[in-house]
């Protein structure tokens, strides 16, 4: 298998979330000797929110979740790794329905309370018999940890990814835990990859949905590995309401600010962890765009830079080739004026007012580029729009992984 990403982070200590129980099992979706089915059970009263891929070819799991999200209640989550079940027609839909029915029939909840996500190869129907046997096994299995769950949802990921934040809401300390998987086919439009957030905060489903969409806009939707958008991208947030706070039901409640900030922090950590596990990544790249016509314009310019193969290979080669950044701004299709453009690498301004900074010191730039954490700043010079985008470099590792990967 692929080597551990050099940008990998250790898995954090994650406390339990009241009202959430985890399990893992081996359904055998691929010929591998590892657990590949993750299960989370939620106490009654748990509400759910979610954002899903903008792909016009979504998986049946995505369609199932969209329909169930309308009702806003959750009792279970099933995540299958090794097979995305996408583009499998009626057989794929039948597999999702069978999973929801099996969980509902065994645990006594409604099928619409069961959320399903799958990740892996596209085009192969998820085998219903293995899924059902896996669910039977996981319901009989001992409790699993966050680390177990984060490892079990992985596919080409090289390390499990999780994060925790807290907020004081209504005098109560609430906990937010997130786990995420993703490494390639990462270019979120609305959401990306599979990400799951769990909190004991009491909050209404519509407010959780609004806050998740807001957090997504500046976190998951601001990362890219390869510009490719998955058919299965899903981020779901589950709130069990057991923290004891008076339920949050309005964006204007003072306590909402604390929860929102904690949710955005959590999503940012998870999104950055995905970039740190980008296929073949050797450097973590932060692209800060300022001075654009709007925040949305700044984000699109940032993603144009972050998705440019020539920018990404220059970073891999530790080459301060800022001309490629100019190129990527020029092709973004957003308002820009060549002669107002400024670019910095790390703390060094390398270009300003449409040309190179006369005699800028290349030494700190070269030193910055040899590091693992690269920062590129671009000022468009036209307005107040700003956005930060995260990506990784493009290396031989990406080619090696993707010229061979298939089940």
Q: Active-site residues: which are they?
A: 192
SS3 of 74, please?
coil
Q: Under rule CB under 8 A, which residues in 211-230 are in contact with a copy of itself?
A: 226-230
For the chain, what is the total number of helices (H) and then of strands (E)?
11, 16
Following DSSP, what letter does each residue of 324-371 receive, concatenated? HHHHHHHTS-S---GGG-EEEETTEEEEETTEEPTT--HHHHHHHHTS
Q: Does 395 bind a copy of itself (CB under 8 A)?
A: yes
Q: Under rule CB under 8 A, which residues in 19-58 are in contact with a copy of itself?
A: 53-58
Whichever of 255 and 336 has its CB closer to a copy of itself, that residue is: 336
Q: Considering only 7-15, 18-26, 118-126, 134-142, which stretch makes contact with a copy of itself by CB under 8 A?
A: 118-126
Structure token digits, residue 33: 């000797």
Q: Does 249 bind a copy of itself (CB under 8 A)?
A: no
Whichever of 254 and 406 has its CB closer to a copy of itself, that residue is: 406
Least Å from the CB of residue 311 to a copy of itself: 8
Q: Considering only 115-123, 199-207, 269-277, 287-295, which stretch makes contact with a copy of itself by CB under 8 A?
A: 115-123
- Count Cβ neighbours within 10 Å for each residue of 65-101 and write b for 16 or more, e otherwise: beebbeebbbbbbbbbbbbbbbebeeebbebbebbbe
Whichever of 26 and 283 has its CB closer to a copy of itself, that residue is: 283
Least Å from the CB of residue 263 to a copy of itself: 26
Whichever of 6 and 317 has its CB closer to a copy of itself, that residue is: 317
- What gap in Å lies between CA 250 and CA 227, rounded to an integer? 36
Which x/- pattern, by CB under 8 A, does the window 139-168 give for a copy of itself?
Answer: ------------------------------
Least Å from the CB of residue 6 to a copy of itself: 16
Q: Does 379 bind a copy of itself (CB under 8 A)?
A: no
134 phi and psi, to 5 degrees? -65, -40
Q: Does 67 bind a copy of itself (CB under 8 A)?
A: no
Which x/- pattern, by CB under 8 A, does the window 292-321 give for a copy of itself?
Answer: ---------------xxxx--xx-xx-x-x
For the purposes of burial, counting CB atoms within 10 Å of the CB of 194, is it exposed (0-12), middle (13-18) or buried (19 or more)?
Answer: buried
From candidates 270, 336, 376, 387, binder to a copy of itself by CB under 8 A = 336
Closest CA to 393 of 273, 300, 228, 282: 282
From candidates 351, 369, 386, 389, binder to a copy of itself by CB under 8 A = 351
What would you report as the CA-atom Rg of the chain, rounded to the nearest whole angstrom? Answer: 22
- C-beta of residue 285 within 8 angstroms of C-beta of residue 393: yes
Chain-centre distance for alpha carbon 345 = 26
From candidates 156, 158, 216, 231, binder to a copy of itself by CB under 8 A = 231
- C-beta of residue 222 within 8 angstroms of C-beta of residue 267: no
Least Å from the CB of residue 325 to a copy of itself: 9
Least Å from the CB of residue 341 to a copy of itself: 7
Q: Does 2 bind a copy of itself (CB under 8 A)?
A: no
Least Å from the CB of residue 8 to a copy of itself: 21
Chain-centre distance for alpha carbon 189 = 11
Angle at 227 between CA 329 and CA 293, to 5 degrees: 35
């Amino acid at each position: 298998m692929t080597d551990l990403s050099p940008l990998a982070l250790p898995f954090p200590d994650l406390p339990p979330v009241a009202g959430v129980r985890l399990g893992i099992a081996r359904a055998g979706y691929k010929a591998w000797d590892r657990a590949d089915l993750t299960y989370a059970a939620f106490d009654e009263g748990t509400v759910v929110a979610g954002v899903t891929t903008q792909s016009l070819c979504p998986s049946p799991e995505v369609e199932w979740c969209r329909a169930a999200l309308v009702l806003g209640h959750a009792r279970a989550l099933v995540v299958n790794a090794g097979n995305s079940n996408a583009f499998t027609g009626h057989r794929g839909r039948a597999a999702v329905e069978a999973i929801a029915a099996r969980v509902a029939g065994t645990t006594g909840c409604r099928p619409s309370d069961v959320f399903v996500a799958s990740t892996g190869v596209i085009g192969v129907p998820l085998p219903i018999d293995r899924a059902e046997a896996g669910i039977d096994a996981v319901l009989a299995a001992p409790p699993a940890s966050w680390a177990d769950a984060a490892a079990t949802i992985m596919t080409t990921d090289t390390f499990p990814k999780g994060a925790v934040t807290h907020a004081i809401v209504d005098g109560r300390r609430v906990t937010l835990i997130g786990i995420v998987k993703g490494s390639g086919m990462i270019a979120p439009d609305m959401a990306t990859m599979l990400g799951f957030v769990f909190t004991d905060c009491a909050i209404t489903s519509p407010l959780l949905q609004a806050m998740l969409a807001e957090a997504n806009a500046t976190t998951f939707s601001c990362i890219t590995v390869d510009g490719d958008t998955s058919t299965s991208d899903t981020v779901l947030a589950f709130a069990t309401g057991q923290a004891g706070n008076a339920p949050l039901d309005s964006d204007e409640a003072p306590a909402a600010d604390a929860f929102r900030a904690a949710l955005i922090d959590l999503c940012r950590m998870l999104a950055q962890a995905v970039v740190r596990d980008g296929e073949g990544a050797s450097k973590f790249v932060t692209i800060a765009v300022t001075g654009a016509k709007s925040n949305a314009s700044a984000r699109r310019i940032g993603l144009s830079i972050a998705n440019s193969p020539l920018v990404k290979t220059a970073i891999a080669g530790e080459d301060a080739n800022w001309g490629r950044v100019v190129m990527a701004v020029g092709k973004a299709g957003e308002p820009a004026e060549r002669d107002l453009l400024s670019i910095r690498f790390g703390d060094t301004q390398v270009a300003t007012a449409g040309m190179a900074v006369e005699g800028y010191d290349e030494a700190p730039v070269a030193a910055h580029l040899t590091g693992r954490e690269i920062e590129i700043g671009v000022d468009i010079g036209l307005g107040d729009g700003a956005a930060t985008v995260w990506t990784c470099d493009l290396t031989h590792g990406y080619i090696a992984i993707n010229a061979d990967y298939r089940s």
